[in-house]
Each structure stands twice: as C-alpha cells, then as structure tokens.
Structure 1
Amino acid sequence: MRRRTNKSKGIFPCQLTELEKKLHEDYFLDSPDLTTKQIDFDNKSCVILYLNHMVRKQYLYNQLIKPIQFSTTASYEQFKRIVPVAGDEALNTLDAIGEELIGGAACVYIEGEDYALTFPVPKLEKRNPERAEAESLIFGPKISFTESLDTNLNIVHWRMDTKTLKVEKFIIGNTVPTEVRLIYLEELANEDNVIEMRRRLEELSVDDIIESSTLTQYIEDNSYTIFPQFLVTELPDRFCYSLKEGKLGLLVDKSPTGIIAPINFLSFFESTEDLYTRWSMGSFIRVMRIVAMFISVVLTPLYVAALTFHYEIIPTALLVSLGHSRSRVPFPPLIEAFVLEILIELVREAGARLPTKVGQTMGIVGGIVIGQAVVQAGFTSNILIIIVALSALASYTAPSYLMGSAIRIIRFPIILLAGMWGFIGIIFSLSFIVIHLIKQRSLNRPYFAPIYPFQPRDVDNSLIRLPFLSSNKRAYSGSPKKITRFKKPNKNKPKDIDE
C-alpha cells in the first residue's frame, strides 16, 4: 500500500537488539512510540515491533501476539499458518520495514533470519459519511465523501456496481507519500484523457500533497489563471454522474473531496440537483445561475462608470435620487465602491471563519449594522449598498465555491477600469476575460466549450437541461467513447383500443 524508497539498508541477519537499535537510530529518532515484544522459544527468539499509536492494540494481541506465543516452533511458515491476518509481506531492508510500521503494520523478526515479516493491523481514525455542507442539496442524495480513501472507494463502488469501473493507484509525495486513485469507466472514458492524466500523476515529483485541491494546482493546465480548471466536489453522486459522462475522477487519501476532469467553464454552474427536479425548473435555475454570475461581475462597475462618466444614461427620476443619496459622500464613486466591496468581503470572511452559529449571526447582524452605520456616516450611498448586496448574493449562486470566489475577485479590476475609462473599461475587461477563457484548457480539452469551439449539440448538457427522453447524447466536448446514452423510444402514436 505504501511506496518503497530507493535506499537499501540491509542488516539481516542480525540480533533482536540490533534491529531495535537500528530502527530507533536511523528511522524513528528514538521515538518512545516504537514498542517491542520479545517471545522466546526453545531454540530461537523472535521480536514483534509496532508503533503504539498506529495499531489496534486489542486486535494486535488477539490475532498476532497470542497465536505466536502459543506456537510450538519459531518459523515464518508456522506463523503464516496460525496468524489470521492477511496481507503479510517479507521485507529485508530497514526502510521498507520502517514504512510499514508507520502505516500501521507490526513487524515480526526471528533472530538469525534473512528477512522480517510484517502484518497490517492499522488503527484508522475516520468519521462516518455525513451530510454535505459546502454543496448542500434540497433533492437527491445527501451523503458526502470523508477523509478515508477506503470509505470513499466503498461509496463509489456502491453507487456504480459495474465491472467496467477501472481504478488505478498512484503514490505521490517524496517526503510524505499519499495514495491517489484514478477512477474512470473503461467503456466511456476517452483513452487520450486517461493517458494524459496518468502521465501528469506519474511525472509529479513533490514532497507531499496536503489535499485534493492542492493536487489540482499541481496538475492543472495553467497554474496562473484565477479560474479553476478541475472540479472539486464533496458529493459522491456528482462524482459518479461525471464518470458516467465519460470523465475521469481522482480520489486522494485523507481528503474529503473528489476531483473531476476534464471540465468546462459552464460545468461550474451545474448541479446534480438540476437532474432531480423537472427539466423546466432545472433549466430555469441553471440559466439563472449564469445570469447571476454576469450580474455579479458587471453591476457594481456599471454604477461606477455611470456616475463617473455617463450621467446621460441614468433616467432623470433616478438621477435625482442618486444625487440626493450621494450628497454627503466625500469620495468619488470608484473609492466608494472599493470601500464597500472590501467591507462586504470582510464580513463574509469573518462569518465563514467563526463557529457556525456565531458566523450566521455575524453575517446578518454585522452586515445590517455596519451597512447602516456606513450610510449614516456618509461614507457611501444607500443605492450602492443595494447594488453591492445584490452582487454578493449573485456570486453565491454558483454551486462551486472556487468559481464563486473567482467571480468575486475579478470584480475588483473591472471596477478599477470602470472608474478609469467608464464603459470602455468594462468592455475591455469583459473582452479580456472571454479571450482568456477561450485560451484555457482542462486536461488539454477546450475550457470554454461548447461556446468556443461552438457545439450546438451540447446546449442541453450545459446551458439548459432538456427532458431525459430528448437528451440521449453525452457532451461531444468531453470526447467520450460512447456518445449515445440510450436509444430513443419509438414515439409513434399508439393505436386506439378499438382498432
């Protein structure tokens, strides 16, 4: 299960005390957790070594130590027969034994032998699958991934009981090795995508990967863009649905999220909840999210541009109200908007970092109290409070937290250009963002598909959702092996019963 190091420190055969001393000095640096249990036989002695906090002690005693104590002879063949623990390994280097001990194994060595045996008896601390928090749903499964790779693999296999599900194992990390699983449906996943993902994982040489979101930053196509190129999800149903669409999935040990690739820009505004509701409601909500994204990006810059350069586009009645609202504000619209946007971000960040109940109170009460105080102090206008609040709400409609954060960040340079050049600055910013998105790739696949390159057949898989019986094709932009999901039923009008 763990990576073997290239170093080789052969010390066998050796004395029992010598093995313990070498492990203490060369591998565990005199750690007090390395525990030894010596068992003497008529003609030989053996020692059992393990890390005290990494093994199930009761299980270790009942299934390993107790059978060996009652063994009639000291031989590895005899131990293999009487110890009911599967997965034993014969190792002859100090590094290999040390890695097994760190992973929760117990090492059994008979004095004078050329190798040692290890038996896996790990104590795994893990939580049970719970309700998803970052991607909460009203309809559909509520279960989420956990930090245990075994649990996550169990959930995926439970949801996808098919022999075509392919799982490949990779060990990444030179200092702290971490297990990563590449998962895909062999009959659907594009072979070029599989080869490219496999190459990136095999060529990755880092000390360690903290979490799945960290792994995406190592293997994505462009590390300098603000937009995420892989989808990170905590929902097994979304993970498995993506596999059924011909995409690839990655699960990282000790991470409660899975990675989906390749992905396109519009996928970050989709949710599996769109599939669980009626097609009309699902399409409406999906379009609403995209419109909300656009509103979040341009609403505050339009306010700044209009009040700085383009008074003529504001209706007279609204202009009077704006003038009265800004009569006490000493700052230009650009500074006013920046102050309020930063204030909203501070309130949001404080609410997210505080405990749940306190954070909710801080978000609501803090926003109201601070907003009212800012207006009364003359730092901003009432109308800008409404505009900034609408922009913030619109950015939260994105199901992906990473994409919602990217939208909130790109607002600031657009506001700056709107304050400098008005509508020209806004158009320039939006054009730059579109060109940037067109140039991006996700696992060497077009990131802005199906808009560019334009794929009209993929509209029902991105912008809207058609009824299931009318949507029997997978997205062409993902290049799955099989495009057709199912054969459309014959919709010929049935004959009348009297005919």
Structure 2
Amino acid sequence: MNLSAHTQEQRLESITDVLAACGRSDDFMTRDITIGSLPLEFCYYKTLIDSHLLEIVIHALQEQTAIDTVVSLHDLITHIPLEELKVSDQSDEVLQALLQGSLLIRCLTHEQEIILVPMTGKEGIRSNNDTENEFSVIGPKVGFVESLPVNLHLIRMQLRTTNLIVKEITIGSLSQSKVAILYVEGIVNPDNVTRMEERLKAIDFDVVFDTSQLDQLIADNSFTPFPLFTTTERRDRVIYALITGQVAVISDGSPSFITGPSTLFDFFVSPEDYYLPWALGSFFRLIRIFGVIFSLFASALYVALMTFHYEVVPKELLGKLISTRQSVPFPPLFEAIFLETTIEFLREAGARLPNRIGQTLGVVGGIILGQAAVEAALTSNVLIIIVSLSALASFVTPIYKMSNAIRFLRFPIILLASLWGALGIAIGLCFLLVHLSRLKSLGSPYMSPFFPMRFNDLKDSLIRASYEQTNTRPSYLRPLSFIRYKPGKMHRTNRLDEE
C-alpha cells in the first residue's frame, strides 16, 4: 500500500531515525568535529545550506578549542555568530528544520542534545525585483522576488510599525512551504484574520508552487472565473491593502501576494491613480472600466446586429457593413469565434515565446493574419477592428487574472448573442450581475460598495476622490479604526497679498 510522504515522516520517532532517513540521499552530509573535549557531529543537506555560513560557524567554533569550559552544547550557542538558534529534541521539528536548510549540531556523547542553526542558501534567488506584469509608469517600481525573508523585509522597510504582525504557518506535505499571513493590528478586523488563518491551516496539499494556488484553495467559490483575492507583485499595492484593513498572504518561493477581502472594483484600481491628481486618476479609472465593458460586449453586439437587428443600424453604416460581409460565406457567429480564437492563439504564443520573438509575432502575425483573412473572405474588416480593440481593451485592467476572466466570458456572451440577439446579451448580463452579487471574498460581499449599497465608500470606487475625501477606510472591511488620517486644511498664502 502506498503511503504519502507525510505519513512516512510521522514514523520517524527519534533523532537517529531522522538522520537515517536523511542519510539515504547523497546530498546529505555528516562531519565529525571536536571542539575542546566535546565530540560533535554536523549534519546538513549541502544542496540547501549556505556553504559560506557553514565555514563561518566551523571557524568560530574551532577558535574555542583551547577553552576548557566548553563541556556541553549549551556552552557552544554563545560562540555561534548566527541568529535564531534553536535547541530541540523533537524529531519532527528536527526533520522540518533540516529540510528547510538548517545545520544540525549534536554531541556524540549526548545524542539527544540538538542545536539547529538556520543557514538557508540564497542561490537561485533573482536579485532583480522589478515588477514583471504590473508595470509602473509613475511611482515606486519595487516588486517581490521568490524569497519569503526578502519579501517580508521589503514590507517592513515601508511599514515601520510594531503593529505589523507576521504569522508563519507550514503548508504542503511534501514541500513544507512556509506561508506568511500579514496584517496591521488595530486596523484589521480580527474576524478576517481568523477566517484567513483557519482556511490556510485546513489546506491538505502536497506541493505549494505559488501563492496563486492558495488563492484557489481558500476561495469562497471555486466555480467562478472571477478572482476573489487580489494578486499583486507590487509592494505599494500590498501596503495600501494592509493599511486599509485587508489581510495579505504570501508563500515561500512566490513573487506575489494575495490580499483580501477584495471587491470587484479592486481589480480596476491602479496604484498610479493615487500618484496623479484625483481628476486624472478618476478619468483613467473610468477608462479602464469602460474598456472592460467594451471588451466584454463589443463582439457580441456585432453578432447580434448582423444576425437579428439590421434595422437599428444607420443607413450610412449599414451599406458599409453589407459590402464588407457580402463575400463572407460564414454567419457572424463563426466569423467572430474564428477571429476571437485567432487572437487567443496569438496571445498564448506570444506569452510563451521569448520577449523579442513574442512581440514580433504579436505585431507581424496579427497584421498578416488579419489581411489574409480579409482577402480570403473569411471575415470582414469591421469585425477585425472590433476584435482588435476588444483584445486591446481587455488588458487595461491592472490585475492579469481579471483580464483572463474577461477574455473567457466573451465567448459565452457571443454564443448568447447569436441565439437571441440583444435579448441574449441582456440575459448574459443579468446572469453575470446575479453571479457577481452572490460572490463573497473571505465572507465579504464582492460587489461592495454597490451591493449592498454603501454610500460612504463610493468616493473610492468608480472614481477616486481627493485626499481630503478619502481619509476613511472602506466600511465593508469592518476595520477597528475607520480614520486613516485627518485632512486639515492648509493655509495657502498668496505672495501678492503680502506685498
């Protein structure tokens, strides 16, 4: 009978069993060293630890060989120039520490005395922490990397307060991945923290590759295409979520955080909105929302008009549409599906290829295929323009997961438009609104502040009001402190009045 790795590790009841199990691997090393009159054994995975730190520890201990007072492992702790040392005699704790890159030091005369020295290696961690998917035109460009300590350091560098609390748990029976939960005490509602912690601890999974997996495992509804937690690789977005009362989660080996509870409108907010004057920030946010609506319904509206509703098209435009479609042998549904699928092929191919080749493929391939499709009478010029604008508009959302949801939803709405025209689009829109109104993120309504209606939160939803108006935290988060800052009026003197 096959047993999971988690079950097999539970059988290791003693330190000797742990070392015997680890010793089956060729990268597990043991070294015998005598410090003073104390015979020691060093055990570690050479593929996990920092070899430079190991030499520092050995050198520091060998300098104590002339000191006769070193008679136990407790005497050695003061001579090891590293932090977070731990003394343990629990086999499960020792095993977990070894697998996370710790050095095990034990005395051969007292084998149950164990010192665990964390010295995880930094090889393979990229030093460039520029954001890959969330580009910043204005404002800081600090992103995260695949190292949990580095990411927590970046957060601490901006939030210099003792109220920033970090809780670490371990998830993954095989990966034993560290997952950190971050929140600001005194602001966040404790119920949100408890709910997030309970959901993460209830996860039974083998390997956690990325924080996005946790997003799916703890989501309130796994049958929705919409992301229920905001995924970001930007530090300023995580900081803003923490100070408004949200909870942030990140796993070791992942360059992105998830924050929640989130609302639908969080996915249309860009940190750049707060770096620009409020009027410009509001304008660009409205542009994003309009772009998503256009991307979602433009192709479906073309199919509905060309199939059922010629009468609503102006005469001047109707002639152009008829002339562009008179040589196309396919109905508008097949025409739209063909172009939308072609766009998706180009997107996926461009995303998987190297940057330079991908950009060339996207531009040249789109031009060549579009021109060839028109000349071969497979589609009309008007639909190519509509589909191209829809594909462009789907990327105006700052969060990539939301743009994926919009891309997916276009296809069923096109099918509904081909069946019942404008009525089909209206049915699809109603189903979409009902589905969104039923969604929750960490128990909070996904459509807030519009459902349920919260008038005080509207000032930072569709538009972004001035800083004099946005001094309170969203009420749907139920924060312990609603006031962020007190916007006192600045006394602006006019130099002409002084003369």
* TM-score where L is the length of structure 2: 0.92
1:98 is aligned, of 89, 95, 98, to 95
Equivalent pair of 2:145/2:254 in contact (CA under 8 Å): yes
Partner of 1:120: 118
**TM-aligned CA distance change 1:230 to 1:38, over 3 Å:** same
Equivalent pair of 1:46/1:74 in contact (CA under 8 Å): no
- In 1, the alpha carbon distance for the partners of 2:329 and 2:135 equals 43
Q: Deviations over 1:204-223 (max 9, x none)?
A: 22223221111010111101
Partner of 2:30: 36
- In 1, the alpha carbon distance for the partners of 2:52 and 2:25 equals 22
Structure 2 residue ranges without an equivalent (≥5): 1-5
Which letter maps to 2:295? S
Task: State the Cα RMSD in Å.
Answer: 2.5
Q: How does 1:317-356 map to 2 (within 5 A)?
A: 317-356=316-355
Equivalent pair of 1:68/1:79 in contact (CA under 8 Å): no
Q: Secondary structure at the match of 2:78?
A: helix
Partner of 2:46: 52
Deviation, 1:40, is 4.9
Equivalent pair of 2:88/2:114 in contact (CA under 8 Å): yes
Q: Secondary structure at the match of 2:81?
A: coil
Partner of 1:77: 74
Which letter maps to 1:136? F
Which letter maps to 1:323? I
- In 1, the alpha carbon distance for the partners of 2:8 and 2:235 equals 33
Q: Deviations over 1:450-473 (max 9, x none)?
A: 111112221211110111123322
Partner of 1:61: 55
Q: Which moved more, 1:52-61 or 1:38-47?
A: 38-47
Partner of 2:22: 27
Q: Deviations over 1:211-256 (max 9, x none)?
A: 1111010111101101000000000001001111111111221110
Partner of 2:3: none
- In 2, the alpha carbon distance for the partners of 1:148 and 1:247 equals 22
- In 1, the alpha carbon distance for the partners of 2:119 and 2:286 equals 52
Deviation, 1:397, is 0.5
Partner of 2:213: 214
Q: How does 1:99-498 map to 2 (within 5 A)?
A: 99-113=96-110, 114-125=112-123, 126-489=125-488
2:85 is aligned, of 65, 83, 88, to 88
- In 1, the alpha carbon distance for the partners of 2:37 and 2:278 equals 77
Q: Secondary structure at the match of 2:249?
A: strand
Q: Which moved more, 1:278-287 or 1:90-99?
A: 90-99
Deviation, 1:429, is 0.2
- In 1, the alpha carbon distance for the partners of 2:391 and 2:472 equals 36
Which letter maps to 1:416? L
- In 1, the alpha carbon distance for the partners of 2:297 and 2:357 equals 32
Which letter maps to 1:56? D
- In 2, the alpha carbon distance for the partners of 1:48 and 1:484 equals 54
Which letter maps to 2:72? S
- In 2, the alpha carbon distance for the partners of 1:44 and 1:274 equals 63
Which letter maps to 1:209? V
- In 2, the alpha carbon distance for the partners of 1:96 and 1:186 equals 29
Q: Secondary structure at the match of 1:468?
A: coil
Equivalent pair of 1:34/1:49 in contact (CA under 8 Å): yes
Partner of 1:15: none
- In 2, the alpha carbon distance for the partners of 1:87 and 1:247 equals 29
Deviation, 1:479, is 1.9
**TM-aligned CA distance change 1:41 to 1:86, over 3 Å:** closer
Confirm or deny that 1:7 pairs with 2:6: no
Q: Secondary structure at the match of 1:82?
A: coil
**TM-aligned CA distance change 1:164 to 1:41, over 3 Å:** closer
Q: Secondary structure at the match of 2:326?
A: coil
**TM-aligned CA distance change 1:369 to 1:41, over 3 Å:** closer
Identity %: 36
- In 1, the alpha carbon distance for the partners of 2:53 and 2:75 equals 20
Equivalent pair of 1:68/1:83 in contact (CA under 8 Å): no
Q: Which moved more, 1:115-124 or 1:283-292?
A: 115-124
**TM-aligned CA distance change 1:297 to 1:497, over 3 Å:** closer
Q: Secondary structure at the match of 1:280?
A: helix
What is the number of equivalent residue pairs in this alignment? 487
- In 1, the alpha carbon distance for the partners of 2:162 and 2:84 equals 24
Q: Secondary structure at the match of 2:30?
A: strand
* TM-score where L is the length of structure 1: 0.92
**TM-aligned CA distance change 1:437 to 1:209, over 3 Å:** same
Equivalent pair of 1:64/1:85 in contact (CA under 8 Å): no
Runs of 4+ in 1 over 4 A off after TM superposition: 3-6, 22-25, 40-44, 490-498
- In 2, the alpha carbon distance for the partners of 1:466 and 1:303 equals 36
- In 2, the alpha carbon distance for the partners of 1:472 and 1:124 equals 41
Q: Secondary structure at the match of 1:469?
A: coil
- In 2, the alpha carbon distance for the partners of 1:198 and 1:461 equals 28
- In 1, the alpha carbon distance for the partners of 2:321 and 2:39 equals 90
